[in-house]
Amino acid sequence: MNYYKAPERNRLFEAFTFATSSQEIAQAGSRTIAMSFFASCLRNDPGKLKEFYDNLSVATDTNLIYGFGYVLWLIQTDTSLQMFNQFKNLNQQNKYKEDFELLTKINPINIWTDPIVEAEHLDYLWADFFATGNEQSIRKIITKLIDLNSKDQVDKITANSAKWSLTSNAITHDTVFQVCNEERETIKDKKIRKALDEIIKVATKERDNK
């Protein structure tokens, strides 16, 4: 997942077509995360977003239709929401009209400002980082380390997932490793600092062995 390092905008629609139709992605329960990745890719690229809309406003493939409607909703910009309202009222969207109407009544997670409650939120943040290289998403994941010893089991499990994913990605992504080190130097919370020490220690050893 290194799209942020070398974005291939001309292949993004091809990748979207694959992601919405792949049974492997669906069976792995990863389609929502894949749609979050495309939402991040398109959020700050209005030209490409319009290109997607123009292609998909005449599509008949139900996977493409639902996938793009969901992506428009996830992006949550004025432009994407205006497109979403237009898109859900097109004739070929009738099959999903009710589903799209339900989405309009739900507030999606703001991945950067809402508290991290469950592991799916971590997946959204990693999808954003892999799509854009946004360091804010890494820093948000780091905040969850405060719950590593929480009495709430969901918080504790999610925090340990955050620690594991930070360690894994700090080994393979220079930016993640760098941000963990930067946060280690500035963060005041002792529990988070201790967790970052452990993450950096493991990541450094694995990176040195490469």
Give the count of beta carbons closer than 10 Å to the beta carbon of residue 167: 20
> So what's the pLDDT on residue 170?
97
**164 is in which domain, residue-wise?**
135-208
99 with 139, same domain: the answer is no
97 with 34, same domain: the answer is yes
Residue 115 domain flag: no
Task: Quote the number of domains for the chain.
Answer: 2
Domain boundary among 103, 127, 147: 103
91 with 141, same domain: the answer is no
> So what's the pLDDT on residue 1?
64
Residue 35 domain flag: yes
> So what's the pLDDT on residue 24?
80
40 with 96, same domain: the answer is yes
pTM above 0.85, yes or no: yes
Residue 39 domain flag: yes
Q: At what angle do helices 46-56 and 12-21 cross, to 10 degrees?
A: 50
**Distance of CA 72 to CAs 36, 81, 92, 127, 168, Å?**
10, 6, 17, 16, 30
Which parts of the chain sit beneath pLDDT 50? none
Residue 111 domain flag: no
13 with 92, same domain: the answer is yes
20 with 84, same domain: the answer is yes
Q: How long is the chain?
A: 210
Residue reference for tokens 């380390």: 145
Tens digits of per-residue pLDDT, 32-73?
889 999 999 999 899 999 999 999 988 888 889 999 999 999
